[in-house]
Amino acid sequence: MSKINAQLILFDLDGTLYVGNQAIPGAVDALNRLREQGFQLRFLTNTTTKSQAELVAQLRSLGFSLEPHELISAPIAAKLELQTLQQKFQRPLRVWPVVAEAIKTDFSDFECDERNPDVVVLGDIGDRWDLNLINKLFNVVHSGAQLIALHKNRFWQTNDGLKADIGFFVAGLEYVCNINARVMGKPNADFFKARIRFGRS
């Protein structure tokens, strides 16, 4: 069979290739067959609790074959967006990353400022949500900080069933601040464009 060299396929991760710590049956073999047929594979995810390196390591541990440049996460897409904003500001960008500890290093190129940020980056923070934090976020966004949401998922699939996701908090801040967040993850079209630009080889 002749190989097809000009086609690109984008894959989601959690819930598509694996659930929890289990690869979906047949997923590894299917991707291997696609590579053998000459398809280019790229991976994208709204996962915001693991770093790029952790995601690649997880996929490899489940039997998937991929290189780091083949994967882009919502945090990396947000970092690219912040770099573009910083060029427009023509000064160091002040960012408040309300994100999981594992991905805070993705935003270390920017000045961290919780009191007077230019941009709030909102991601998954688990059980750290409380009314005090919500009010702090409300006040800085209401005062003019831009809001970048790593995604706006309503819920996600876990081994224990469906769980509410950060779209709950993103939508709430949009409502009380009368603004629209810049959403970086799926299904935002800019995320797919970033995936195509990022790590071309």
Q: Compute CA distances 116 → 141, 170, 185, whole Å.
A: 9, 19, 25
Position 201 confidence tier, pLDDT thresholds 50, 70, 90 = very low
> What's the pLDDT tens digit per position in 135-192?
999 999 999 999 999 999 888 777 788 888 899 999 999 999 999 999 998 877 777 7
Structure tokens at 197: 């630009």
The angle subtended at Cα 75 by Cα 166 and Cα 19, nearest 5°, is 65
State residue 21's pLDDT score.
Answer: 87
State residue 2's pLDDT score.
Answer: 47
State residue 153's pLDDT score.
Answer: 86
Structure tokens at 96: 């408040």
Residues in contact with 174: Cβ distance below 8 Å, sequence separation at least 6, in sequence order: 147, 180, 181
pLDDT at 55 over 90: yes
> In the chain, how many H helices and how many E strands?
6, 12
3-state secondary structure of 9: strand
- Strands (E) located in 123-186: 146-149, 155-158, 161-164, 182-183
| CATH code of the domain made up of 74-183 | 3.40.50.1000
As annotated, the residues of the chain forming the CATH 3.40.50.1000 domain(s) are 8-73+192-197, 74-183
- β-bridge pairing 111-112 and 119-122: unpaired
> What's the pLDDT tens digit per position in 98-148?
999 999 988 999 999 999 999 999 999 988 999 999 999 999 999 999 999
3-state secondary structure of 23: strand
**Omega before 187 within 30 of 0, i.e. cis:** yes
Sheet holding 8-11, edge to edge: 8-11, 40-45, 71-73
State residue 1's pLDDT score.
Answer: 41
Average pLDDT of every residue of the chain: 88
CATH class of 8-73+192-197: alpha beta
State residue 4's pLDDT score.
Answer: 46
Position 198 confidence tier, pLDDT thresholds 50, 70, 90 = low
Do 169 and 122 meet the contact criterion of CB atoms below 8 Å apart? yes
Percent of residues, the chain, with pLDDT higher than 70: 93
pLDDT at 66 over 60: yes
Q: Which of 47, 49, 37, 41 is nearest to 65 (CA)?
A: 41
Place of tokens 């915001």: 48
Question: Which pTM value belongs to this model?
Answer: 0.78
